[in-house]
Amino acid sequence: MEIIFLGTNGWYDTKLGNAVCVLLKTEKYDIVMDAGNGIYKLDQYVDGSKPVYLFLSHFHLDHIVGLHILTKFNFKKGMTICAGKGANKTLNSILRRPFTIPLKKLRTKTGVLELPAQAARIPFDVKCLPLVHADPVLGYRFNIDGKIVTYCTDTGYCPNSLKLAAGADLLISECAHRPGEENPGWPHMNPESAAALAKEAGVKKLILVHFGADRYPAMKDRENAQKIARKTFRNTRAAVDGLRMVI
């Protein structure tokens, strides 16, 4: 199993990277987490020989802005977009003229599943739970190819993030806030809280992602977040665009 970080920023693109998008390459499926602008790189790693599943955490623009790039792709085995309640209505209100090409007219045959109601139609083991944010957001736990990968972004610490991360081989956690920063009205993680979650959940490895573009303008800021997180959870790495890893 290979994980490729196509976009690692939150909010907007900078010289450090694109808005968030993570690719999980498995034996039978290509699984994409969120559709920030980093998704434009997807066809560098996905040839369409396997079904593509795109999981959206929520509908804030930095997580869906790359959906207009779907017109670029022609994946022969199709793409399924999985997102929370109301996804069909929300996506079809955005992915239409005069904004972009409608879903039904993409070159890649694309369907939509609303979670958790239609989770049984996904052909692999994935669990989703609501997290804590200003608007509804889902975290995901993928149990596939003998590995567990958890993806939690745009959330503060909450019991559901702990449930999703418990015993995972890899926790991909957001780190939008700077060290020591908190904002109850706009819940996000900082390096300390992400590391504390990883330690409490007993995960094997923590990857920090979704760095607030305004709060992490330079690589040294990400390096500092990594340094601080490692004080609590040693096996931590701050992601950068293009990072590839095998678990």
Closest CA to 61 of 10, 5, 132: 10
Amino acid residing at 57? S
- Average pLDDT for 24-46: 98
Delineate the domains of the chain, giving CATH numbers in brackets: 2-244 (3.60.15.10)
Q: pLDDT digit string (tens) for 83-129?
A: 999 999 999 999 999 999 999 999 999 999 999 999 999 999 999 99
pLDDT at residue 185, as a whole number: 86
Task: State how far the Cα of 49 lies from the Cα of 199, in Å rounded to an integer.
Answer: 37
Beta-bridge partners for 36: none
Structure tokens at 103: 């879903």
Mean pLDDT of 141-152: 98
Among 212, 190, 209, 58, CA closest to 135: 58
CA–CA dist 172, 41 (Å, integer): 19
SS3 state at 51:
coil
